[in-house]
Structures are given as C-alpha cells and as structure tokens.
Amino acid sequence: MLHTVAVFPQPNNTLQYAAESRNSHTDGAGAATRLPFAITQRKYYEPMQPAIETRALTKRFRKLHRYRDLLFYPWRKADHLAVDHISLSIMPGELFGLLGQNGAGKTTLIRMLCTALLPSEGEARVGGYDVVREARHVRERIGLVSGEERSFYWRLTGRQNLEFFAALYHVPNAQVAQRVNDLLYRVGLAEQADQPFRTYSSGMRQKLGIARGLLNRPQVLFMDEPTRSLDPISAQTMRRFIADYIIGELGCTVILATHSMAEAEELCSRLALIQSGRVVAQGTIPQLRQRLHYGTRCVLHLRRMPPELPATLRHLPDVLDLTAAREETGQRLELTLREEGPALAALLREVVESGADIYHFETSQITLEEIYLRTLSPSAAPHAEEAPVC
C-alpha cells in the first residue's frame, strides 16, 4: 500500500494533511494495513510566523521646555524614554498579557503596534507587515479596544455608532446589519442598542467599544483594560466572551493590557511584566515562578518545635524563604520552596527527624499578584533589572 501525503497551508497558518491510497492492500480481516506515518509523510512545511514581532522597539517623547530655555538654549534636547528596546514574539491565536504600573509604557507600545505612533528606533511587524512601511495593511488586520469614550458620537445611538464605524472599516453593506446585531447581542447591549450613547453608563460604553473593535473581524485585537468600568458580574461575562468567542470562535490573536491580576491569570497564555518601558520578565505563570525563583508556599503548624529547627531548614538547598511565628497552640513556619515535589519531601523529613510534631500543613502556588508585587515594587527594582526573560 503506497501513501502520498500532501500538505496544504491554510490562511491561519495551520496545516491540513490529505492522504491518498493507491494499490491498497488489506489483510485477511479486510482491514487496510498502513505504513508508519514517519515513512509515508512527504513534508512541505513552512514554520508558523509570529502574529506580532518586535525587535528593540523604542519610543522617545520630546520634553517640552520653558520659553526661556527655548530662547537661550535651543540646542538642548531632552526626551522621555517611554518604551525601551522591547523585543516580543507572539504567535497566532495567543492571548498575551501586558502588566505594569501606570506609565510603564503599555499603552505607548500598543499605539505603536496599531500604527498610531511612529517608533523612534527598532522595528515591529503585525500580521507579517511592517508597522511603518506597510501601515495600511496592518490597519486592515487589527482591532483596538480602549477606554476612550470621546471617539464615539454621543448624539447617535449605539447601533448608529457601530454602523458608522462599520462604514469606516469598509464592512460590506450586505453584512453590516447582521454583524452589528450579532455584536450588540454578544456584548449584552441588544436591548439598549437604540438608546443615545450619551445615556449609556461607563460599563455600557466599554461594551460598545469592544463591539466596535470586532467590527472588521480582525486577525489581531489590542485590548487596553477592556473590563475597567465593568462590575464584577459583567467583567466575568466579558472574560468568558473573550475566551470563548474572540479566541475560540474568531481565532484572534489578543494583546491584553490590564491591571487586573485575576483577569490576566484567567485569560493569558503568556505575560510580559513591564517597568519603565522595559520588559523585565516574560513567559507563562509557571515559567515566571520558576525563573524568578518564586516557587511554592508551604505553611507548617508545629508542636514542640526545637529552637534550632528554623536555622536548619534555612540551609536546605530548595528553601528560598522562611519566617517563624508563635501561635496559641504551637509554632507556625511559612516557607517558600523552589518546587513542591522533592523539596517538600526533604522538608517534611527534616522536620520529623527533629522531633517536632506536625498537626497541620498546607501548600499553595505563588499567585500572579505576588509575582507582580515582588518583581515591580520599588523595593524589588534592583532585582527586577536582573530578572531573566523567558
């Protein structure tokens, strides 16, 4: 039995394998015998290209001088470094999170990738197109969701606003009504669609902004704090909408800038922590725990603890941090371990051999909020500069 395998590249860079069988041979039971796939496969494979790729992307803003300085010292040039040589590679279908304090450079980075700002240095490609030389092709393939309300027309209804922007995005006339109705329903504004925008609450305006960002069915969607004005129930509904519809059905690549640690932990496949315009760490949450040495937290409640036990445990190779406190019923030890498996077994063995009684213990992973605080807080700044990039 001879198999030939052809590979057809799809628009979303996935691969579809089609096999043909010639001179098929069957065994005695009538089942076709198959050669190993590794032998029969004929490969025509092109590596998947990143949906977004930046190399040393930098943005400087010119600082404004006083009139006196401009008159007497016109040669003096001062600038503010908003984005400092950021290099990222984000694959199609990925939901990538940007975390950082206010003024860290997240919005500036997004505006450069959306072609709204020109980079000072470096280069960036979105959907395979350069954001400077091929800006028009980039704009055709992206969507933007931000908290900017002034870009809507307050005297128009929500439906009329979406129809207006659909015309700007060159949505075919035959599809406008259906697409607008579908998006209004999906973001929960179907009943308020014909009310003037000026009567909308902050949460409703945010939902309409999300609908507008999806009008052109973008390949890449930039979301700058999409749930900022939403109540907890609406925010949870919107997170499910992002995961199930935007990622699941539309297959968009999403860049999410947020201050919500729960939102980032729930949605993002990878994260970048940004401080003063630089990426100080990036990767999945387990990678951040491991490479930044933020491991597993372990809490032990002990009776009859020997006084020298905390010092002994601090010398174990996988114990990163330890604090001891006295309780009414005994002592409490809080430790951070490099890993949960062998390190935890060695810890418990040492405690038992010391003669202490363990009446309760629990373990938990370091949360994303703790990673954020330890990495980006002012006291952690010296360590953040040396943090590895995953």
Q: What is the pLDDT of residues 301-337, one digit of tens each?
A: 988 888 888 888 888 888 888 888 888 888 888 888 8
Q: Spell out the domain ranges in the chain.
A: 2-40, 52-287, 295-365
Q: Is 316 exposed, middle or buried (0-12, 13-18, 19+ CB in 10 A)?
A: middle
Q: Strand locations in the chain, DSSP E?
A: 2-9, 15-22, 52-62, 79-90, 95-100, 121-126, 129-130, 142-145, 220-224, 253-257, 270-275, 278-283, 296-303, 319-326, 331-337, 357-365
CA atoms within 13 Å, Cβ hemisphere of 375: 31
Report the first-to-last Cα separation within the chain, whole angstroms.
Answer: 46
Show contacts of 343-347: CB within 8 Å, 24+ apart: 343/295, 343/296, 343/316, 343/318, 343/319, 344/296, 344/298, 346/316, 346/318, 347/298, 347/313, 347/316, 347/318, 347/319
φ, ψ dihedrals at 265, nearest 5°: -65, -35
pLDDT value at position 38?
34
Tokens of 372: 């954020």
CATH class of 295-365: alpha beta
**Which class would CATH give 52-287?**
alpha beta
Q: Any residues with CB less than 8 A from the CB of 118 and at least 6 apart, and which? A: 112, 132
How many other CB atoms are found less than 10 A from the CB of residue 154?
13
**pLDDT score at 70:** 64
Dist CA 306 CA 9 (whole Å): 66
Predicted confidence at residue 365, as pLDDT, reads 80
Which positions of the chain have pLDDT values less than 70?
A: 1-47, 64-78, 147-149, 293, 378-390
Q: In this predicted structure, what is the pLDDT of residue 336?
A: 84
Q: Please tell me the predicted confidence (pLDDT) of residue 72.
A: 66
Q: Which of 223, 277, 281, 224 is nearest to 253 (CA)?
A: 223
Nearest to 368 by CA among 234, 270, 299, 279: 270
DSSP class of residue 33 equals P
Residue 90, helix vs strand vs coil: strand
Contact in structure between 169 and 180 (CB atoms under 8 Å): no
With contact defined as beta carbons under 8 Å apart, do 79 and 122 qualify? no
Q: Residue 384 and residue 366: Cα distance in Å, rounded?
A: 17
Beta bridge partners of 96: 255, 270
Q: In angstroms, rounded to a whole number, what is the distance separating the alpha carbons of residues 296 and 338?
A: 6
Residue 255 to residues 288, 298, 354: CA-CA distances in angstroms?
A: 19, 34, 51
Residues with Cβ within 8 Å of 258's Cβ and at least 6 positions away in sequence, in order, are 97, 98, 99, 223, 225, 226, 227, 264
CA distances from 48 to 12, 43, 91, 112, 197 (A): 9, 14, 8, 23, 42
pLDDT for 200: 92
